[in-house]
């Protein structure tokens, strides 16, 4: 009986993690690098850092969720297949957040440096 309760909980959290993956795919339209490039191009065109900030907020919501789900799965099942799956989703979300944060940081410090780094393909998302 405890096993079915355990299985239901594990299934619930793995389903939640899968929902984050779907939401991420919808957000980035299947390509994280192309999504970040689109955000960069929007910033380059308008000079508005809020475009980058808004994108970070959207991705950070997913990051907060997947971290919780990953922790719940770890508590229930340890470092098993289910946790690895959630961890892979977490890494994908984390990459998007990290790439966007790099854009925002460079845009805030020196927009010319951001444009220069982009032109040399030295931004984090350009090297993946």
Write out pLDDT tens, residues 77-126. Answer: 888 888 899 999 999 999 999 999 999 999 999 889 999 999 999 999 99
For the CA atoms of the chain, what is the radius of gyration?
17
Is the pLDDT reported for residue 5 higher than 80?
A: no
Kindly indicate the confidence band of residue 9, based on its pLDDT and cuts at 50, 70 and 90.
confident
Is the pLDDT reported for residue 128 higher than 60?
A: yes
Kindly indicate the confidence band of residue 3, based on its pLDDT and cuts at 50, 70 and 90.
low
pTM (predicted TM-score): 0.87
Paired tokens of 128: 């993946």
**Could you give the number of structural domains in the chain?**
1
pLDDT tens digit string along 15-74?
999 999 999 999 999 799 999 999 999 999 998 999 999 999 999 999 999 999 999 888
d(CA 55, CA 35) in angstroms, rounded, equals 10
pLDDT for the residue numbered 11: 86
Kindly indicate the confidence band of residue 6, based on its pLDDT and cuts at 50, 70 and 90.
low
Residue 29 backbone dihedrals phi, psi, to 5 degrees: 55, 45
pLDDT for the residue numbered 2: 46
pLDDT for the residue numbered 4: 62
Identify whether the C-beta of residue 47 lies closer than 8 Å to the C-beta of residue 96.
no
d(CA 54, CA 14) in angstroms, rounded, equals 27
48: alpha, beta or left, given left = phi > 0 and alpha = psi -120 to 50? beta
Residue-number span of the structural domain to which 19 is assigned: 2-127
Which of 33, 36, 24, 28 has the alpha carbon at shortest distance from 86? Answer: 24
One-character DSSP codes across 7-28: HHHHHHHHHHHHHHHHHHHHHH
């Amino acid at each position: 009986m405890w096993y079915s309760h355990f299985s239901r909980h594990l299934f619930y959290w793995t389903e939640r993690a899968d929902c984050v993956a779907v939401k991420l795919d919808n957000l980035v339209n299947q390509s994280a690098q192309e999504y970040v490039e689109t955000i960069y191009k929007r910033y380059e065109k308008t000079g508005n850092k809020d475009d980058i900030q808004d994108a970070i907020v959207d991705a950070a919501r997913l990051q907060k969720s997947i971290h919780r789900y990953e922790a719940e799965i770890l508590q229930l099942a340890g470092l098993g297949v289910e946790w690895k799956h959630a961890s892979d989703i977490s890494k994908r979300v984390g990459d998007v957040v990290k790439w966007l944060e790099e854009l925002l940081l460079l845009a805030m410090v020196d927009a010319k440096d951001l444009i220069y780094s982009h032109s040399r393909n030295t931004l984090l998302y350009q090297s993946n």
